């Protein structure tokens, strides 16, 4: 029987756990409070591992604690970030692109998981129920930013789950970009959300006019389009929400 040890049962991890539980798998959920001895026992019984835990300033906490035990498991998955590609000034990148940019810890963790034979799922901005422009618009917290030409990809949380499940069924270890099919400006997303809700669009503002965190400002400093063809070819994966339009419409209908 398949047994998954899941590190990080948060927003995305909880959905992965629910999906494999529906397949009849045993799921062991590792949180910060789980004793190391218990985790070690689970890893000795595991057939699959997935980590959604981001790296810290001093390295990847999961690998730092359990590297040797994880390396002995047959199927390993790690949720990384398309931020490892850095700013491409809007150019397309695929899994063969050099790793660069401001996320040094992310790059190091990505490479470390690759070294032990993991399936690396590089993800852009994650959205889904409770985490979309729809909720921000309803709360009066959405904004449009005056950044002509700035685009990026996104991925619905359920399409991440579909990608992880597809990779558990077929395809070699390696790197897979799980992104939607339509890189777009954040303004496009907000404006479409307004159309769905029948709301006026928020005013256009500059970055300096908005009280953004340093992380948010850094996010808007990058501009890239990420190709997802490898996951489609090797995993047979297809996004259920190929663009933000289907994703936002599903949130409104729910």
Query: Domain map of the chain by residue range?
Result: 3-253
The pLDDT-based confidence of 214 (bands split at 50, 70, 90) is: confident
Q: Quick one: CA torsion of 76, 82, 84, 88, rounded to 10 degrees? A: 150
What mean pLDDT is predicted for residues 185-197? Answer: 97
Q: Give yes or no for residue 103 having a pLDDT over 80.
A: no
Q: Which residues contact 63 (CB under 8 A, 6 or more apart)?
A: 70, 109, 112, 113, 116
What was the pLDDT predicted at 254? Answer: 83
In angstroms, rounded to a whole number, what is the distance separating the alpha carbons of residues 156 and 178? Answer: 10
The rounded radius of gyration (Å) of the Cα atoms in the chain is: 19
What is the token pair recorded at 1? 């029987």
The pLDDT-based confidence of 57 (bands split at 50, 70, 90) is: confident
The pLDDT-based confidence of 64 (bands split at 50, 70, 90) is: very high
How does the average pLDDT of the chain come out, rounded? Answer: 94
Residue 207: other Cβ atoms inside 10 A: 13
What mean pLDDT is predicted for residues 118-127? Answer: 97
In angstroms, rounded to a whole number, what is the distance separating the alpha carbons of residues 57 and 44? Answer: 28
Residue 179: other Cβ atoms inside 10 A: 24
Range name among 25-29, 156-160, 214-218, 230-234 with the lowest pLDDT average: 214-218
What was the pLDDT predicted at 123? Answer: 98
- CA distances to 99, 185, 190, 209, 239 from 133, in Å: 29, 13, 6, 19, 19
Closest C-alpha among 220, 89, 226, 232 to residue 163? 232
Helices (H), 46-171: 61-71, 104-115, 133-138, 157-169
What was the pLDDT predicted at 53? Answer: 97
Q: Give yes or no for residue 13 having a pLDDT over 80.
A: yes
Q: Quick one: CA torsion of 237, 243, 246, 249, rounded to 10 degrees? A: 140
Percent of the chain at pLDDT > 70 equals 99
Closest C-alpha among 132, 82, 87, 88 to residue 249? 132
Q: Give yes or no for residue 46 having a pLDDT over 80.
A: yes
Q: Is the pTM of this model over 0.85?
A: yes
DSSP 183-232: -B-HHHHHHHHHHHHT-PPPPEE-GGGS---HHHHHHHT---EE--HHHH
In angstroms, rounded to a whole number, what is the distance separating the alpha carbons of residues 4 and 168? Answer: 11
What was the pLDDT predicted at 215? Answer: 77
Q: What share of the chain is helix, strand, coil (3-state, %, to 5)?
A: 40, 20, 40
> Greater confidence, 134 or 57?
134
What mean pLDDT is predicted for residues 242-249? Answer: 98
What was the pLDDT predicted at 211? Answer: 79
Q: Give yes or no for residue 102 having a pLDDT over 80.
A: no
- Assigned CATH topology for domain 3-253: Rossmann fold (3.40.50)
Q: Give yes or no for residue 101 having a pLDDT over 70.
A: no
């Amino acid at each position: 029987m398949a047994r998954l040890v899941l590190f990080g049962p948060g927003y995305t991890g909880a959905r992965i756990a629910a999906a494999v539980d529906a397949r009849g798998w045993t799921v062991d959920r590792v949180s910060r409070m789980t004793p190391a001895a218990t985790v070690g026992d689970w890893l000795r019984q595991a057939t699959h591992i997935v980590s959604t835990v981001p790296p810290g300033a001093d390295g990847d906490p999961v690998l730092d604690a359990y590297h040797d035990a994880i390396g002995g498991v047959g199927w390993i998955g790690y949720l990384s970030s398309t931020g490892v590609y850095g700013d491409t000034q809007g150019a397309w990148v695929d899994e063969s692109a050099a790793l660069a940019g401001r996320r040094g810890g992310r790059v190091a963790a990505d490479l470390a998981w690759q070294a032990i034979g993991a399936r690396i799922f590089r993800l852009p901005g994650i959205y889904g129920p409770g985490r979309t422009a729809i909720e921000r618009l309803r709360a009066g917290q959405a904004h449009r930013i005056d950044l002509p030409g700035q685009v990026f990809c996104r991925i619905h949380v359920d399409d991440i789950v579909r990608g992880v499940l597809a990779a558990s069924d077929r395809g070699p270890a390696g790197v897979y970009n799980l992104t939607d099919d339509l890189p777009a400006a954040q303004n496009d997303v907000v404006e479409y959300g307004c159309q769905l809700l029948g709301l006026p669009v928020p005013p256009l503002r500059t970055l300096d006019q908005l009280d953004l965190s340093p992380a948010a400002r850094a996010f808007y400093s990058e501009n890239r389009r990420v190709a997802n063809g490898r996951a489609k070819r090797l995993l047979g994966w297809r996004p259920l929400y190929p663009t933000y339009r289907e994703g936002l419409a599903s949130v409104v209908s729910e």
